[in-house]
Amino acid sequence: MKLKISTWLQNLGIACSIASLLTLFFRLSEFSWVTKSVYHIPVFFVCIFLMSIIIAADVRNLFKKLFWYEKRKIQRPIWQVGIGFIFFLAQISMVMVFSQELTQPQLGGMPLFLVIAFMNAFILTVIYEEIFYRTSNQ
| Residue among 2, 42, 27, 41 nearest 10 (CA) | 2
φ, ψ of residue 10 to 5 degrees: the values are: -65, -45
| Residue 25: inside a domain | yes
Q: Where are the beta strands (DSSP E) in 1-103?
A: 37-38, 41-42
**Range of the structural domain that residue 26 is part of:** 2-133
Query: Could you give the CA distance from residue 87 to residue 120 in angstroms, rounded to a whole number?
Result: 8
| Residue 66: inside a domain | yes
| Residue 117: inside a domain | yes
Mark residue 128 as left, alpha or beta (left: phi above 0; alpha: psi -120 to 50; beta: remaining).
alpha
What local confidence, expressed as pLDDT, does residue 35 receive? 76
Q: What is the pLDDT of residues 76-86, one digit of tens each?
A: 888 888 899 99
Number of domains in the chain: 1
| Residue 93: inside a domain | yes
| Residue 63: inside a domain | yes
| Residue 138: inside a domain | no
| Residue among 115, 38, 120 nearest 84 (CA) | 120
Model-level pTM?
Answer: 0.81
Radius of gyration over every alpha carbon of the chain, rounded to an integer in angstroms: 16
Tens digit of pLDDT at every position of the chain (138 positions): 777 888 899 999 999 999 999 998 888 788 777 778 777 788 888 999 999 999 999 999 998 888 888 888 888 888 888 899 999 999 999 888 888 888 888 888 888 889 999 999 999 999 988 888 764 454
What local confidence, expressed as pLDDT, does residue 134 receive? 60
DSSP-assigned beta bridge partners for residue 106: 111
Query: Could you give the CA distance from residue 114 to residue 106 in angstroms, rounded to a whole number?
Result: 10
What local confidence, expressed as pLDDT, does residue 102 receive? 81
Under DSSP, is residue 136 helix (H, G, I), strand (E, B) or coil?
A: helix
